[in-house]
Structure 1
Amino acid sequence: MKKLLIYSLAVLSFMASCRKSDNPKLEGVERVPLPQLTVNATADQVIKSDAPDAFVGKFTVGLYFPDDVKPSKMDIVVIKNGDQKNVQVLQSNVTTFPTEITVRGTQFKSLFGNVSSILGDSYTIGANITTQDGKVYPAFSGVANQNNSNIASLAGATPTITYGALCGFHMEDYGAIGSTVPYTVVADGWQDYAVGSTIPVKIIDATHLSFVYGVTDNVQPIVITIDPATNKTSVTKQVYGNYGDGLNFSAASVAGSADNQVLPCQLTVGVRLAHTSSAGSYGSFTITLKKK
């Protein structure tokens, strides 16, 4: 308390000694529109490295605060592999919001050295903003005034989007449709299977495969759905059996987990599953399998 009193007196003394003339004149604060880029889920979400020029993506350019001040225009720009020293224009003079834009793999190719995308390449798209008084706030800059800096706390704000080149998913690489294929257990947090053990995986169709856990009664396959557009996996809640104690266990994928993915280059499939029964919840655990 004593220290607090001393500090308070010091602050009051400092405030009393300050004069208006001691402070530099502050420049006017300008409200700059914040771009909101939204990927169209019906178009390509990733660039398939085995056919990069065939990529067709779509996204909408809007405003995070649609009823606030409007820009004079936006120029939609892109960088490759995070290189902010090489900014290319995808589409200039966007003045209507929202506006949908289509971007193609051949366009990325022509903008960056006429070289097709390879595995691991990424393209980040943003918007250079020109305000009503003509000031330009770039999307990508190694110096100040970048329009998308320090906004991580704004819920749902997406001033930039990124498309990455991944191995394309083809179920035939994982096994013939209708066949049962041996897979190696890479990880099993649920611990029904030891790492390195081999289990059978059923290839159901072009977007579904299944496996069973080590239950003894009412054994049901856990069906994993694969989205070829994103290489993401999911499991709809389903009973997979019981361990002889009469409790039927269910599993469902944990939404948003980074473990929910196939890696076609490595021929792996993973999913993070939440396990439950009538007795309650047992937590979530990842299983990752690799084709032998």
Structure 2
Amino acid sequence: MPKTLEPALLYQCPVCQSPLLPYNLSVKCDKGHTFDVHKKGYINLLLAHQKNSKAPGDDAQMVASRRRFLEQGYYQALAEKIALRARQWLPSNASLWDAGCGEGYYTNTIAQINPGFELYGLDISKPAIQSASRYKQVNWCVASSSHPPYLNESFDAIVSVFSRVDALPFYRVLKPSGSVLLAVPDSDHLLNLRKLIYDTVRPYDTSKHLSYFDQGFELTNEERITVELQLNNNQAIFDLLGMTPHAHRLPQDKRSALEQVSSLTDTACFKLYQFKKSHLNPSQTD
């Protein structure tokens, strides 16, 4: 049995919502729905009707680009800050779900700094989870954050780093005293990069951050994190660009100009929020 399945008691069947338990080289619910465990240790629990395309999420090239950038340590300070705040704000044996975990960089850092945590990582991108599965101390699955295949009230915390958030399913899987740790860009994030690709640079609208969890949660902590960046080759610059929504909006003339840039000094600016689950279920406010 792959190591990642030993504590896999928090999964629920995506078909019937019954608990999933290890069964030979698969997981199975009492209704007979069975899902194979990949030889790398992850489980694919994404149902066909939950896909918005044939291969949703980041493709293999995007995953490789992100992995290449993060493994250079450019965002290590952010990852360590998230992990340290998790240690400060959560029980030492916390169950934690990284929603939209990508290739697992932040999840792995949390695991290294918090060895007592029981960690689950989920992403809708199969190439991302295939990459993440090299970290064997985490339970990985391919699934949608809007339909998380986890039991009700099973997690002490959810981490979301630049990923989709959905208050109702988050509320469902959190314990009554559970937290969401949300990391997002601050208003002045990557100003110098944006000046290279836009004629007019506007601050990010950060007001939407608080609206993500305006029902069913209360804001308990808020922190600004800045990371100085010195990128000394064009590959790193494009890898960074690929981690932002700007890559999809870049006109060809701006892309051609950026291909001539060999170095970039910039500041990555983030906000880290902690939201605590309250007694007001967001579904009751619709």
TM-score (normalizing by structure 1): 0.21
Structure showing greater relative contact order (alpha-carbon pairs closer than 8 Å, 6 or more residues apart): 2
Q: Which has the higher helix share?
A: 2
TM-score computed with the length of structure 2 as normaliser:
0.21
